[in-house]
């Protein structure tokens, strides 16, 4: 066991000795990274989703190694690796993963952090020095294939298990509102100007269909993410990994996650390109764009309460001003739009990062992981808050909708078949200039009689 020195113990790696906190399972390489990258400490550490994914892949790799090289990955070693990896997966060992995002672009230190913690914890469970972080926990692997593998595992779980359920829940809430408001007829608006009528249910259906299409595109993006780099080792050739390891490890990851992970057909691509993540995050950005649009629609429709549109009411969650008593703001709409902006910024960072790196490896992977997983996490949490604290409480102000509808000059479109486009335009302009109703203008200009106007003019039927 490592020699103890006060609150520290002495560990060593290929570069020499390091003092490591005695109560932590990590070793010398983790400690070097901890000291060399004091950037964003405590705020921008490696995402917990990546740590969770490392636990999964290390357990899967150990199982594959045991099947292919039982003389090296013995049953005793396998048991200790799996038990320690389970504690990583559960989050029990979260305090033993201190490293920041701003480290080597391959994520090597985070891979070694996982190797050292699993080895240290496994040795504690065994009561002896049974596991070596490189020789045993990292057997048949390289940081260059494990980090992109962890990134794909984390991305799939974030999209499938966190983001998509949130999207589907909001879509369900909107579907309910859509049915409740099918008969609420209101003025449509294009270019922020009055347009022909629409039902509020139809308007909501546009929001709902946008979310459903976004979910469809996210599901489409999942397919390429199921392909895993594990087995490519350092440059994609699979050096030091036994034949069949890539396939066996991917199959074990699929078993552990319940998701259809498979080995990537071309490991050279799998190590150097991050195109699958760019594509997938593009679908998340599309969702952010639709959320931005929907949140803006809601706050416009709820604007007022007396000097705005005021066609809907939304829940009043907190006071809106420190100086104006009684003011309430559309704060849930505002958090959605801010999150959408963050996702759009993250998309730019991911795109730039994926275009970088040279020859056989992308070396911007930690920042891709940080931004991708932040987008998934923030968007899901934003949607959940918006669903519960805004969307579920949207109520139509049907009286205000009817008032605005009947004041709209664009109802004149209903007269096109009877008096023609140009006469209809003259009617609308005359009504606006003389502050009279469309009926008064149309009759006054001699285009229709009062009786004929009443016979053909039915705004509620225009939807």
- The string of pLDDT tens digits covering residues 344-395 is 999 999 999 999 989 999 999 999 999 999 999 999 999 999 999 999 999 9
Model confidence at 300, pLDDT cuts 50, 70, 90, reads very high
Residues in the chain: 463
Please confirm, yes or no, whether 152 is among the known catalytic residues: no
What is the reported pLDDT for 364? 98
Q: For the chain, what are the domain ranges?
A: 3-139, 145-187+199-226+267-397, 408-462
Q: Give the H or E element holding residue 389.
A: helix 365-389
Is there a contact between 223 and 189 (Cβ–Cβ < 8 Å)? no
Which listed CATH number (1.10.620.20, 1.10.275.10, 3.40.50.2000, 4.10.520.10) goes with 3-139? 1.10.275.10
Q: Do 3-139 and 408-462 share a fold?
A: no
DSSP structure string for 171-215: HHHHHHHHHHTTT-EEEEEETTEEEEEEEHHHHHHHHHHHHHHHH
Which of 321, 355, 434, 458 is flagged as catalytic? Answer: 321
Task: Name the phi and psi angles at 313, rounded to 5.
Answer: -115, 145
- The residues with which 396 forms a beta bridge, in sequence order, are 312
User: Which two three-digit tokens encode residue 250?
Assistant: 């991917």
Torsion of CA 412, 313, 398, 185, to 10 degrees: 50
Average pLDDT along the chain: 96
What is the reported pLDDT for 6? 60
Domain 408-462 top-level CATH class: mainly alpha
Is there a contact between 378 and 319 (Cβ–Cβ < 8 Å)? no
pLDDT in tens, 403-422: 999 999 999 999 999 999 99
User: 306 CB contacts (<8 Å, ≥6 apart)?
Assistant: none
Segment 269-276 shows an average pLDDT of 98
Residue 3 has pLDDT above 80, yes or no: no
Which listed CATH number (1.10.1240.10, 1.20.200.10, 2.40.30.30, 1.10.357.10) goes with 145-187+199-226+267-397? 1.20.200.10
- The residues with which 100 forms a beta bridge, in sequence order, are 45
Which of 66, 132, 152, 191 is flagged as catalytic? Answer: 191
End-to-end CA distance of the chain: 78
pLDDT in tens, 94-140: 999 999 999 999 999 999 999 999 999 999 999 999 999 999 999 99
Distance CA 234, CA 410 (A): 66
Task: Name the phi and psi angles at 8, rounded to 5.
Answer: -120, 165
What pTM did the predictor assign? Answer: 0.95
What is the widest separation between alpha-carbon atoms in the chain?
103
Residue 239's Cβ-count burial label (10 Å; 0-12, 13-18, 19+) is: exposed
What is the reported pLDDT for 42? 87
Is the preceding peptide bond at 305 cis, omega within 30 degrees of 0? yes
User: Which two three-digit tokens encode residue 72?
Assistant: 């090296």
Q: Give the H or E element holding residue 13.
A: strand 8-13
Model confidence at 396, pLDDT cuts 50, 70, 90, reads very high
Model confidence at 1, pLDDT cuts 50, 70, 90, reads very low
Residue 172 has pLDDT above 90, yes or no: yes
Distance CA 115, CA 27 (A): 9
Distance CA 432, CA 438 (A): 9
Residue 5 has pLDDT above 60, yes or no: no
Please confirm, yes or no, whether 355 is among the known catalytic residues: no
DSSP structure string for 77-119: HHHHHHHHHHHHHHTTTGGG---BSSS-TT-HHHHHHHHHHHH
């Amino acid at each position: 066991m490592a020699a103890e020195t006060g609150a520290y113990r002495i560990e060593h790696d290929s570069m020499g000795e390091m003092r490591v906190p005695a109560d932590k399972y990590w070793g010398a390489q983790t400690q070097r990274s901890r000291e060399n990258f004091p950037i964003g400490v405590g705020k921008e550490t490696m995402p917990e989703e990546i740590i969770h994914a490392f636990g999964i892949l290390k357990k899967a790799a150990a199982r594959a190694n045991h099947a292919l090289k039982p003389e090296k990955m013995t049953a005793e070693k396998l048991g200790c690796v799996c038990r320690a990896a389970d504690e990583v997966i559960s989050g029990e060992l979260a305090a033993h993963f201190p490293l920041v995002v701003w480290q080597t672009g391959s994520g090597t230190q985070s891979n070694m952090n996982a190797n050292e913690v699993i080895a240290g914890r496994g040795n504690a469970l065994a009561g002896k020095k049974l596991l070596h972080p490189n020789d045993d926990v990292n057997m048949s692997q390289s940081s260059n294939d494990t980090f992109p593998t962890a990134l794909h595992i984390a991305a799939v779980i974030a999209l499938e298990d966190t983001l998509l359920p949130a999207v589907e829940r909001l879509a369900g809430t909107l579907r309910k509102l859509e049915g409740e408001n099918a008969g609420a007829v209101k003025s449509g608006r294009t270019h922020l100007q009055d347009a022909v009528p629409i039902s509020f249910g139809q308007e909501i259906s546009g929001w709902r269909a946008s979310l459903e299409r976004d979910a469809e595109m996210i599901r489409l993006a999942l397919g390429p993410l199921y392909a895993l780099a594990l087995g490519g080792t350092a440059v994609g050739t699979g050096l030091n990994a036994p034949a069949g390891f890539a396939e066996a490890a991917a199959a074990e990851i699929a078993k552990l996650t319940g998701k259809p992970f498979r080995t990537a057909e071309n490991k050279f691509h799998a190590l150097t390109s991050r195109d699958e993540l760019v594509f997938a995050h593009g679908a998340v950005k599309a969702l952010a764009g639709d959320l931005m649009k929907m949140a803006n629609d809601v706050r416009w429709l709820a604007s007022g309460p007396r000097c705005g549109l005021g066609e809907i009411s939304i829940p009043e969650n907190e006071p809106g001003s420190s100086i104006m008593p009684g003011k309430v703001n559309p704060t849930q709409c505002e958090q959605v739009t801010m999150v959408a902006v963050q996702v759009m910024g993250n998309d730019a960072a991911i795109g730039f990062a994926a275009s970088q790196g040279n020859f056989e490896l992308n070396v911007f992977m930690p920042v891709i992981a940080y931004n991708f997983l932040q987008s998934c996490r923030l968007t899901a949490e934003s949607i959940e808050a918006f669903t519960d604290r805004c969307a579920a409480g949207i109520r139509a102000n049907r009286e205000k909708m009817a008032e605005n509808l009947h004041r709209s000059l664009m109802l004149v479109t209903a007269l096109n078949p009877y008096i023609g486009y140009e006469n209809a335009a003259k009617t609308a302009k005359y009504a606006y200039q003389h502050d009279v109703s469309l009926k008064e203008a149309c009759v006054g200009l001699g285009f229709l009689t009062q009786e004929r106007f009443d016979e053909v003019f039915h705004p509620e039927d225009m939807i």
